[in-house]
Structure 1
Amino acid sequence: MEEIIEDYITVEKQWIEQLSREEIETVQYWGEVLFMLSGLKPCVLMTETPHVSLTVHEIASNILTPNFSLKDSLVVVNNRHHLSSEVHRILCLDAVEVTPVEVMRTEEELAKILDYPFPLPSPEELTSNDEMMEVVYFDVSRGKEPIPLSSYGILHCKMAEAIKHFKSYRRDLLPIVDLRMASQRVETS
């Protein structure tokens, strides 16, 4: 497993070297792929991706959640994960024809297949008293600077779920990476 991860990191570094500075600042997928390859996540959703040659699924259907449109996003699926069939169903990956009809999915469904500890609230569910947090997982074992691996949004009142999720990832990945967590409040409007 460690050899696969090292090979992936090498290939990704080569790919990153050809990106512009703006593109590099938005690239944080290697941690997500690491989590998927380690069997923790059933899939990785990649949005606003550059055109590269990958073996992935393109979400061609007009799939919407209360917060996002997933149309034309890329998803890499770990077909050995027990939730892979759910990924295919929720994201309509096996659709024979692309239909112009919007397919609504819940934030709960998206959180489940992306292995996030708690779904994002829909904009209608947020109140002025709710505090949104951005949680970031970092690898601190590969040099001087922490490397961001993953980030997600969560309500402040659900941080206990985020900490529990982090601890399980840290425990399962400790032989490979030294995982740390940080969070900060996100201003909502």
Structure 2
Amino acid sequence: MTLENKTVAFLVGPEGIEQAELVEPWKAVSEAGGTPRLVSKDSGTVQAFNHLTPADEFPVDVTLDDASADQFDALVLPGGVANGDQVRTFPAAVSFVKAIADAGKPIAVICHGGWVLIEADLVRDRTLTSWPSLQTDYRNAGATWQDQETVVDEGAFTLVSSRKPDDLPAFNRELVRAFE
């Protein structure tokens, strides 16, 4: 599998990103020959966490003000409760995610990263998974929620979803396949 000549956006908030859910998919994209780019609201760095403990900081490559769907071939939405909750409150993030989906580009989401998909009204009539506490949110937004390691829903855009850090090997395999 190769992602040569593919640029993948990783959209995150300023803090609260679950570090493994950023680092491991980033590594999978890089190892497959793709170019991962960190997109966030502001320039500078973002703060990742290992659950509730602060972990590493990561430099932002592109701010939401400068990001557009035509710059990217795919999108990853890492989890983390605070991260997912923040991202959905940024109108520019919601617009960016909607533009990626409207362009038919694949999106991979894990854990709490999907709140922005709900905010953008992109889960209606789709099947996916997430951290279990989001299942009611997804169902209320018109999605079918399943408790599975990874769900791939082919539709107007491919949607790869996963529940938690333990699912990262399957998530990474499926996102690389979908982004190819």
Which protein has the larger Cα radius of gyration, Structure 1 or Structure 2?
1
TM-score of the superposed pair, with normalisation by structure 2: 0.31
TM-score of the superposed pair, with normalisation by structure 1: 0.30
Answer 1 or 2: higher relative contact order, Cα 8 Å, separation at least 6.
2
Answer 1 or 2: which has greater strand percent: 2
